[in-house]
Structure 1
Amino acid sequence: MSGKIGYGPGLPVDEGVLKKLAIAVQEARGDRSQREFSKLLEVSQSTVQQWENGKNVPSLENLEKIARMKGMLVEDFVAYLYDRTRGITSKDILDRVEVMPSRDFAQILHVIGDRLAPPEEGSQGKGAEKGKGKRVKAEKRLRLVRERQKDAVELGE
């Protein structure tokens, strides 16, 4: 066998990629049944079964959904499938953060803060209250980040 399987017009997919994809789909599915997973992705159960058996490849939209379930960007997920990268590590992230412009760094901190402590509804005031509210939220987010960091260190993550 050549190791290549045709997929789409002139797009060969290596059997190794299909095997990695099958494992990745199973990991993303986790404890869910194929039926539950297929409903989540809005595909048929037989489609999920084909992915897990290395007989078919998800659409780009579904690759993105699967990548997100694995905590990856679709670009990184595809690179992983094709052995183009070793996968992004926390060191890679830290290296990128060290050289990024302050404005980009501030945006990342804002996103992290919103994820850790989403803005509360109806908490926006006017004038001085609004400024005070932002400061209080920022302090709360910082406390949460430090607590999670401490927990991660204690767990050896």
Structure 2
Amino acid sequence: MKKLALLFAGLSLFVATGCDNDDNNNTIEYPIVGTWQPIKKVVTTVAVGETPVSDGISFDTDCQKTSRWIFKEGSTGKRTDNGDGTSPGTCQPTFDRNFTFTYDRDTKAIQVKYQGIVEPDKGKVTMLNETTLNIAFEDKTDPTEFHSETYTLKRIPQ
């Protein structure tokens, strides 16, 4: 009977401590580096004392689907937004700039500084996984109005 009690106590101890492994963190950190296609943008504006307004913009035309945000090693990149050209069936860049960026994995803060533009865009990465990147940029220049633009981007395999 003593052997059975010792066996039961040993199994209980194994179950209570043997399966608990706090050192094994299975969180995968996906890189922001890569080529991304914008899928949609949500613009939210809230003026003091006014009703909030949000507009969703889908990048669903053939030209818009060729837009790319490229984040490279070394904190550089290029953003090209494409739209319909003046001739039917043609595309033209509506925004085409090189940039530098900083991204803090811990706080999820991101700053994008476009070539030729004085003020950097400051925001937060709200989601980053294998296939999706959501970035929310806030414009804090007007103290009477909250303005944000949240982009959803899809990773383009290379």
TM bucket (normalised to shorter chain) is under 0.3
TM-score by length of 1: 0.19
TM-score by length of 2: 0.19
Higher Rg: 2
Higher RCO structure, 1 or 2 (CA under 8 Å, sep 6+):
2
